[in-house]
């Protein structure tokens, strides 16, 4: 007599054949990531966005130096992750783990952008 719990592993085996893995942030797994480590932040970016990462590293460091006397001496390094394969122009800060993610596709309406490049606007904001 076959019990139902004897068939459970067989059922799980056949249902697992069709499962798919989740792609992190819409970025395919083949993308090579680089990082820049500075005192206030670690900028994590796909290969090819070196200029934008350098700009953001400079801005974050300059803003940290100018606001540190008003905020106190405690520093927490924040991870800033760049995504360039999105269709949304946005960014967000996540509290746990503490990080910020930039979607680097600028808005199609140039009147909303202002005079700075999109990655610099996100870093200042």
Q: What is the pLDDT of residue 20?
A: 60
Pair 56, 91: CB distance under 8 Å: no
pLDDT at 21: 59
**What token pair was written down for 97?**
């783990």
The mean of the pLDDT values for the chain is 83
More confident residue, 63 or 110: 63
pLDDT of residue 2: 64
Domain 21-124, architecture per CATH: 3-Layer(aba) Sandwich (3.40)
Instruction: Tell me the sheet residues that pair with 83.
Output: 103
pLDDT digits (tens, 9 = 90+) for 74-104: 778 899 999 988 888 888 898 888 899 998 8
Strands annotated E in 6-96: 33-37, 41-46, 78-83, 89-94
Give me the residue spans of the domains in the chain.
21-124
Render pLDDT for 36-60 as a digit per residue (tens, 0 to 9): 999 899 999 999 999 999 999 999 9
Q: Checking DSSP bridges between strand 33-37 and strand 41-46, what pairing results, if any?
A: antiparallel
For residues 79 and 92, the answer to whether their CB atoms sit within 8 Å is: no
Quickly state the pLDDT bin for 16 (edges 50, 70, 90).
Answer: low
Buried b vs exposed e over 38-63: b needs ≥16 C-beta within 10 Å?
eebbebbbbeebeebbebbbebbeee
How far is residue 43's CA from residue 61's CA, in Å, rounded to a whole number?
11
The answer to whether 102 touches 119, Cβ cutoff 8 Å, is yes
pLDDT of 5 above 80: no
């Amino acid at each position: 007599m076959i019990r139902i719990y004897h068939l459970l592993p067989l059922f799980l085996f056949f249902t697992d054949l069709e499962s798919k893995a989740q792609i992190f942030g819409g970025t395919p797994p083949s993308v090579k990531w680089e990082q820049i480590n500075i005192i206030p932040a670690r900028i994590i970016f796909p290969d090819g966005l070196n200029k934008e990462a350098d700009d953001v590293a400079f801005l974050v460091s300059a803003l940290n130096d100018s606001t540190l006397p008003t905020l106190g001496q405690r520093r927490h390094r924040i991870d800033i992750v760049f995504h360039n394969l999105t269709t949304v122009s946005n960014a967000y800060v996540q509290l746990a783990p503490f990080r910020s993610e930039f979607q680097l596709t600028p808005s199609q309406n140039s009147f909303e952008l202002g005079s700075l490049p999109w990655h610099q606007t996100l870093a200042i904001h």
